[in-house]
Amino acid sequence: MASDRAIRIQEIAEEIRNCTLCELCRGAANPVPGAGNPDAEVMFIGEAPGMNEDKQGLPFVGNSGQFLNEMLESIGWTRDDVFVTNVVKCRPPGNRDPLPDEIMACGSHLESQIAALDPVMIVTLGRFSMAKWFQNERISRIHGEPREVGRRVIVPMYHPAAALHQPSLRETVKADMQKLPMILDAFKQKARADLETQQDNSQMKLF
Ligand code: URA
């Protein structure tokens, strides 16, 4: 039976397929809501669909997706262990960068997906998704560094396409990927310890 999260993620996907909040929907063959496990603890957020994603309506199915799959495999994860989406759900013409008003318009969909999935860890792929949390940062400075934001840990990474275009980045991206399982475990452990402390403190107030 589908979980409540799975049902909500499907509802949001339907809203995205019917969305007309910006002009990108006019040129898109298929909006790309996102894919993967709706009960995942980890969400990856890329930039925008490219040509292959637009054809299939699925995220990261081209060369970047192939590299993402290889990297996931290197840490024992598959696409079924995570949820993958983008900042912008429709392909920008000619693969240009998404514009600020397109990112803003699509932001409500991403917010809904984050709220529904409620991931423990968000991995941003590239500068556009990084900028949602860290506007004035440079990816070259903070890639691979986990940052606690509210109840979640955010890990900025280079976009897989950057590593494909600049071979010198490949090892950096792979090394950042290797850290993810440890970051996730450490963050979950800390969250459990924080919860126990809170519970102890509230019990002490009773006496
Ligand atoms: N690049 C992205 O940022 N997202 C995709 O889905 C594919 C390529």
In this structure, what is the dihedral angle of CA atoms 55, 59, 61, 64, given to the nearest 10 degrees? 120
Q: Whole-angstrom Cα distance, residue 75 to residue 120?
A: 18
Which of 44, 55, 60 best tests ligand 1's pocket when mutated (most atoms within 8 Å of CB)? 60
Structure tokens at 92: 């920008």
Q: Which atom of ligand 1 is nearest to the CA of 52?
A: 7
**Going by CA atoms, what residue is nearest to atom 7 of ligand 1?**
60
Domains of the chain: 4-204 (3.40.470.10)
Q: Across residues 171-200, what is the average pLDDT?
A: 95
Q: Across residues 21-45, what is the average pLDDT?
A: 98
Question: Tens digit of pLDDT for each residue in 191-204?
Answer: 999 999 988 888 87
CB 57 less than 6 A from any atom of ligand 1 = no
Find the 46 Cα to ligand 1 centroid distance in Å.
Answer: 5
Q: Can you name the residues that pair with 36 across neighbouring β-strands?
A: 83
Find the 207 Cα to ligand 1 centroid distance in Å.
Answer: 55
Check residue 205 and give its pLDDT: 73
Q: Which atom of ligand 1 is nearest to the CA of 64?
A: 8
Q: Is the pLDDT of residue 169 over 80?
A: yes
Check residue 206 and give its pLDDT: 65
CB 36 less than 6 A from any atom of ligand 1 = no
Check residue 198 and give its pLDDT: 87
Q: Which atom of ligand 1 is nearest to the CA of 84?
A: 6
Question: Tens digit of pLDDT for each residue in 86-115?
Answer: 999 999 999 999 999 999 999 999 999 999
Look up tokens 């979980």; give the residue: 3
Q: Is the pLDDT of residue 207 over 70?
A: no
CB 34 less than 6 A from any atom of ligand 1 = no
DSSP readout, 31-82?
----EE-TT-SEEEEES---HHHHHHT-SS-SHHHHHHHHHHHHTT--GGGS
Check residue 183 and give its pLDDT: 98
